[in-house]
Amino acid sequence: MSKNVLILPGDGIGPEIVEQAKRVLTLVNDQYSLGLEFTEALVGGAAIDADGVPLPEATLEAAKKADAILLGAVGGPKWDTIPDFQIRPEKGLLGIRSSLGLFGNLRPAILYPQLAHASSLKPEIVSGLDILIVRELTGGIYFGQPRGVRVKEGGVREGYNTYVYDENEIRRIGRVAFEAARQRDKKLCSVDKANVLEVTVLWREIMEELAKEYPDVELSHMYVDNAAMQLVRAPKQFDVMVTGNMFGDILSDAAAMLTGSIGMLPSASLDVNGKGMYEPCHGSAPDIAGQGKANPLATILSVAMMLRYSLDEGDTADKIEAAVSQVLDQNLRTVDIMSDGMTAVTTAQMGDAVVAALKG
């Protein structure tokens, strides 16, 4: 049976980078008879311009029907001044995430040895870095109730939020992480603050319970403050890290920066059945939109993640990742990863090179 991929180019550089990713996806679809069909829809600012809302009903329906979704990026100055926050481009993404229950965020931080100089850390500390951060995306303190700002006795204002996870939420993100570790080096580090926060005492307990189902995966625990330190001290000690929404938000950005090249980093947000939305970690880069300068590799690598995690085509994903490594070996660089002695290429030329590498 054919599988449907929904493509959401979005705003800014979104359409340019998605165009190159689409070429790669179409090529492997034909090359390996994957039986994929493609649908395209509007989201974000492009949807506001066309339909007045960031997530039109037709887009949400298409997202629900699709087996996987590829997103470029949304947002830009054009829509920043819309006074109604419900009509902001980002609401399009949040709407898809919450409507589809995309609770499991996978963010790899991979530093190709060819780009080791791009990191702010010493090459020997980061060269060959390959970490996967699994972040819970729909719960925790960002969503916990009650929340707000209230006035205490004596007229003093007090802000408050609630950090809450039930055991089912912890178990389902734990499973995503253990399964991912199983496909990698079988090492999982669970990050919490169990010395201070009861919710993460429960988190740790559930991770220990799950570990019994995954005897092949080595589980360790680390407090979040130490994890932040270790990420910049010796990041290669990690394989897969799993953590809650807020800690994951911070640690995944820090890990991304270790690589020094935001244009190279893909991400996935998965539901309980493995259906997912795939997108580069970066935004819509309005400063370079329409100039052919954007690096399409994060989006192309998002296609690889999609094939691996939602479409059961891990071998094809490996081939795309190998093709990306090959174009880096050919010294081709978009401006964001440019350095002395390398050959500058445009967005489309980078796409051409990946397509050529895949064709062999």
Give least dist CB 322 to ligand NAD, A. 21
CA 311 from centroid of its chain's CA atoms:
17
Binding piece for ligand NAD, criterion CB under 6 A, among 46-54, 67-75, 107-115, 223-231: 67-75
- Residues tagged active-site: 142, 193, 225, 249, 253
**Which C-beta is closer to ligand NAD: that of 28 or that of 294?**
294
Q: How far apart are CA 71 and CA 100, in angstroms?
A: 14
Out of 28, 68, 73, 121, the residue judged to bind ligand NAD by CB under 6 A: 73
Contacting ligand NAD (CB under 6 A), which of 336, 345, 354, 355?
Answer: 336
Considering just the CA atoms, what is the radius of gyration of the chain in Å?
A: 21
Q: Which stretch binds ligand NAD (CB under 6 A): 1-9, 49-57, 68-76, 126-134?
A: 68-76
CB of 113 to ligand NAD, least distance (A): 20
Minimal distance, residue 353 CB to ligand NAD, in Å: 15
Stretch of 58-66, 72-80, 106-114, 210-218 lying at the interface with ligand NAD (CB under 6 A)? 72-80
Out of 28, 43, 70, 74, the only residue in the binding site for ligand NAD (CB under 6 A) is: 74
* CB 73, min distance to ligand NAD, A: 4
CA 234 – CA 250 distance, rounded (Å):
17
- Is 327:296 a contact under the CB 8 Å cutoff? no
Of 308, 345, 300, 306, nearest in space to 325 by CA = 300
Strands 130-136 and 240-243: parallel
Q: Which residue of 126, 210, 262, 270 would you call a contact of ligand NAD, by CB under 6 A? A: 262
Taking a C-beta distance cutoff of 8 angstroms, is the pair 11, 80 a contact? no
The CA-based dihedral angle spanning residues 206, 100, 307, 93, taken in that order and rounded to the nearest 10 degrees:
-110
The residue number whose beta carbon is nearest to ligand NAD equals 283
Residue (13 or 177) nearer to ligand NAD, CB: 13
Tell me how far, at minimum, the Cβ of 148 lies from ligand NAD, in Å.
25
DSSP reduced 3-state for 176: helix
Per DSSP, the three-state class of 139 is coil
Pair 333, 293: CB distance under 8 Å: no
Piece in contact with ligand NAD (CB under 6 A), picked from 71-79, 191-199, 202-210, 351-359:
71-79
Decide if residue 20 touches ligand NAD (CB under 6 A).
no
Among 140, 263, 266, 276, binds ligand NAD (CB under 6 A): 263
DSSP for 269-322, written as a single string: EE-TTS-EEEEESS---TTTTTTT----HHHHHHHHHHHHHTSS-HHHHHHHHH
Q: Quick check: 302 binds ligand NAD (CB under 6 A)? A: no
Of 170, 338, 187, 193, the residue nearest 251 (C-alpha): 193
Q: Given the rule CB under 6 A, which residues bind ligand NAD?
A: 13, 17, 73-76, 90, 93, 262-263, 279, 282-288, 294-295, 298, 334, 336
